[in-house]
Amino acid sequence: MYTRVVEITSKSGKALELCNIIEEKVIPVLRKQTGFVDETVLVSDTEPNRVLGLSFWNSKEDAQRYHREQYTQIHETLKHLLETEPVIRTFDVQSSTTRQITARKAA
């Protein structure tokens, strides 16, 4: 299992609108992607313009394919609400209590 963490700083007062667009326009695109498992969107309770999007994928290759084929369009959809460029970090999932998300087993 693999995850992409997208760190976003929205324009002042735009985090809720950003989250709504993610729910209405981005998640439907994600659901159509091969290997997509789940998406979690978090808004900071201390920095109200700080949003994290965590997408979970069956494999690194699935996440990379999404990034190559769809991310540019997604970014364009959200761009008008962003204060800065998103920062994308990627991780192997080592453990999770969520049934849909299973950790990569050690070899």
Structure-model confidence comparison of residues 56 and 96, the more confident one: 56
Domain ranges, ordered by start, for the chain: 2-92
Give me the CATH code for the 2-92 domain, please: 3.30.70.100
pLDDT band at 97 (very low <50, low <70, confident <90, very high): confident
What is the per-residue pLDDT for 106? 45
- pTM across the whole model: 0.88
- The pLDDT of residue 87 is above 60: yes
| Helix ranges restricted to H, 7-98 | 15-21, 27-31, 60-69, 71-78
Count the neighbouring beta carbons within 10 Å of the beta carbon of residue 46.
5
Contact criterion met (CB below 8 Å) for 37 and 56:
yes
Q: In this predicted model, what pLDDT tens digit does every residue of 18-65 receive, in sequence order? A: 999 999 999 999 999 999 999 999 999 999 999 999 999 999 999 999
